[in-house]
Amino acid sequence: MRRWLVGMMMVVLGVAPVPVLAGQALPGRPAALAQHYGEAALLARETHGGVEVLARGQGAARVYVFLPERPALPAGAVPVVFFHHGWQGMNPVNFGALIDHLAREGEIVVYPVYQRSAATSPQVVVARAAAADRRAVALLAARGWQVNKNRVLYVGYSMGAAISLDFAIARGHDGVPAPRAMVLMAPGDAPDVATGPAGRSIIGDLRRLPPDLPIAVMAGAQDTAIGLPTARALFKRMCGVRADRRVLMVLPGAAHDGVVVHSEHGAPGAPDLRYNFPLSDQDFPKFLPGQPGFPTSVSINQLDFFGFWKVIDAMVIGLDHHKLPSVVFDPQNPAQRYLGTWADGTAFPPIRIEDPCVPR
């Protein structure tokens, strides 16, 4: 597979309350962990009945804004997730289920397009994403909302992780609110998609990251061409961030009883066909009613519910409660590495925690 396909994924068809995520460690019993994490717990946090869809701009200048609806958020300061996608991920369909979940649990999700095709130079995407994010902030202000600067989460996938990092170095980029926490999934960079001058890294000096910024870096063990080696290399440049506020999580692939879960570069994807908005289409839905469950897809599995989504939700809740989420950063919390069980109750292999900042 050519490396320019980084971030490009094919769509695959197919109960306990929140505070524990940001609070004390749970006992290591599988039943207790299963009660607090996974699909049922995620659904229990979805308190809004649907998602309003806004968009501004055309082509590479477009930005989508996904708003919680039924009930709508009141005017004032609101929590925002800036979701920066991977290369050629202009269509939000491949992360539709995650976007829907975040919006329905009360987050405003901003999704900048920033490119039109694979011919886009990686050297322009930071500026384009910043301009799109600024338009989204202005759109929110016109409707009576200001970004709650204490509840800004950056989520970056693949090339979007590089964009998010460059924004964070600048404490927010060109008017984009600075992150209070970050989740970087299967990170990539310009050398993964281009050569020559266009392939220069778009990430600045990571020694300038705020030392108290919580950062979770996540990659699949099978993502050996892009996500895992890039995650390790970037993490070594983040050692100025406090050790208790940075973590590198390696998610395994596994097979059991005829079921296979892959942890390759597309593992963070969570497709929902209701979010299929091609750039050429101007007539996408303006409201998406909530569904009773998550879409059925081999792409939405253990690694999402107990991995990527668990960590993202924990960061959201941690910002809301002004706590550092132990399920993300505390190695003594058994839920940090927990990835649930197979259908027959057999334990799924756990997350591996690495720290490239610590000499071996």
Mark out the alpha helices in 63-108 (DSSP H runs): 96-104
| pTM (global) more than 0.75 | yes
Confirm whether 153 is domain-assigned.
yes
Query: How many domains does the chain contain in total?
Result: 1
- Look up the CATH number of the domain holding residue 130: 3.40.50.1820
Q: Does the pLDDT at position 14 exceed 60? A: no
In tens, the pLDDT along 305-317 reads 999 999 999 999 9
Confirm whether 7 is domain-assigned.
no
In tens, the pLDDT along 149-173 reads 999 999 999 999 999 999 999 766 6
**Under DSSP, is residue 108 helix (H, G, I), strand (E, B) or coil?**
strand
In tens, the pLDDT along 104-120 reads 999 999 999 999 999 99
Confirm whether 6 is domain-assigned.
no
pLDDT > 70 in the chain, percent = 91
Confirm whether 53 is domain-assigned.
yes
CA-to-CA distance for 227 and 185, rounded, in angstroms?
A: 8
Residue ranges making up the domain that contains 32: 22-354
CA-to-CA distance for 186 and 134, rounded, in angstroms?
A: 25
Phi-psi region of 81 (alpha: psi -120 to 50; beta: other; left: phi over 0): beta
Pair type for strands 287-289 and 50-56: antiparallel
Confirm whether 360 is domain-assigned.
no
Confirm whether 116 is domain-assigned.
yes
Q: Nearest-CA neighbor of 110 among 87, 126, 130?
A: 130
CA-to-CA distance for 158 and 184, rounded, in angstroms?
A: 8
Q: Please report the pLDDT score of residue 27 as a whole number.
A: 52
Lowest mean pLDDT among 7-11, 43-47, 353-357: 7-11
Confirm whether 17 is domain-assigned.
no
Cβ–Cβ < 8 Å for 229, 257: no
- Sign of the Cα torsion 143, 149, 150, 156 reads positive
Confirm whether 15 is domain-assigned.
no
Q: What is the average pLDDT across 54-65?
A: 94
